[in-house]
């Protein structure tokens, strides 16, 4: 099983709302990632978790708050977002942070901020 | 700074043609290069991963080559089918940067018509 699942598939929220994106994998991977992808652009790395600890934050605004409750689950908490945050948010996982490890991507959550 | 570019940006071909998609990168110090497929509004599907020590990888009708010294990779698609229509992204893992970070190209949007 090489599946990464993400919920919800679509999310529409106002700028004052608080919402969360969820990502799950059951491949025993110890590294998990959040990417942001704007239309017709390549994905950009936001956060990396390794062994449930945040190891990389690519200077993402604090209105995005990641959380890794356990080795299978990764959340992205959203608060006070701006319309320019509308994008496809992709989760990925890999066996470890090793340079040879393939990253497996989920289907993404399409976020629209009104 | 590692930069990854893909040519052409878009390609439209009739069914049955053999295709070559190009990916170039500016810093040859890489761990590996990965090719992904992305359907509109969907997540990324890993197609092939080539380690820096390898010259090519094959999977079915797909063949990817890597020339690290010249900073180039090609994805060859044999006997293209309408189901191959998607955006194809290459991504490198650079030794000069954090190995978690995949640096993506801008993609080639492929349309195969019957």
pLDDT in tens, B41-56: 888 999 999 999 999 9
Q: Quote the pLDDT of residue A99.
A: 65
Q: Quote the pLDDT of residue B95.
A: 74
**Cα A25 from Cα B65, distance rounded (Å):** 30
- Residue A75 touches partner B, C-beta closer than 8 Å: no
Of B103, B39, B40, nearest in space to B73 by CA: B103
- Pick A90's closest partner by Cβ from B43, B49, B91: B43
pLDDT in tens, A66-104: 999 998 999 999 999 999 999 999 999 998 877 677 889
Closest-CA distance of chain A to residue B109, Å:
10
Sequential pLDDT tens for chain B (114 residues) = 889 999 999 999 999 999 999 999 999 988 899 999 999 888 899 999 999 999 999 999 999 999 999 999 999 999 999 999 999 999 998 876 666 678 999 999 999 999
Whether the link from the prior residue into A92 is cis, omega within 30° of 0, is: no
Q: Quote the pLDDT of residue B93.
A: 87
Enumerate the residues of chain B whose CB falls inside 8 A of the CB of residue A107: 42-43
Largest CA distance in chain A: 41
Q: Quote the pLDDT of residue A2.
A: 64
CB atoms within 10 A of CB B40: 8
**Cα A15 from Cα A9, distance rounded (Å):** 19
Q: Quick one: tokens of A34?
A: 């959040």
């Amino acid at each position: 099983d090489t599946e990464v699942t993400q919920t919800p598939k679509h999310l529409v929220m106002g700028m004052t709302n608080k919402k969360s994106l969820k990502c799950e994998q059951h491949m025993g991977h110890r590294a998990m990632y959040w990417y942001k992808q704007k239309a017709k652009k390549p994905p950009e790395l936001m956060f990396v978790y390794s062994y449930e600890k945040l190891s990389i934050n690519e200077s993402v605004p604090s209105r995005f708050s990641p959380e890794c409750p356990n080795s299978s689950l990764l959340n992205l908490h959203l608060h006070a977002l701006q319309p320019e945050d509308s994008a496809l948010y992709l989760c990925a996982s890999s066996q470890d942070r090793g340079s040879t490890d393939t990253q497996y991507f989920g289907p993404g959550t399409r976020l629209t901020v009104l | 700074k590692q930069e990854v570019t893909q040519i052409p940006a878009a390609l439209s071909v009739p069914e049955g043609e053999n295709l070559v998609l190009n990916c170039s990168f500016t810093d040859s110090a890489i761990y590996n290069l990965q090719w992904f497929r992305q359907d509109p509004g969907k997540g990324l599907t890993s197609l092939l991963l080539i380690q820096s020590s390898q010259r090519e990888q094959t999977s079915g009708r797909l063949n990817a080559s890597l020339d690290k010294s010249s900073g180039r990779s090609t994805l060859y698609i044999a006997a293209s089918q309408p189901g191959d229509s998607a955006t194809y992204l290459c991504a490198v893992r650079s030794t000069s940067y954090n190995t978690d970070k995949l640096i993506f190209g801008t993609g080639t949007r492929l349309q195969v018509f019957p």
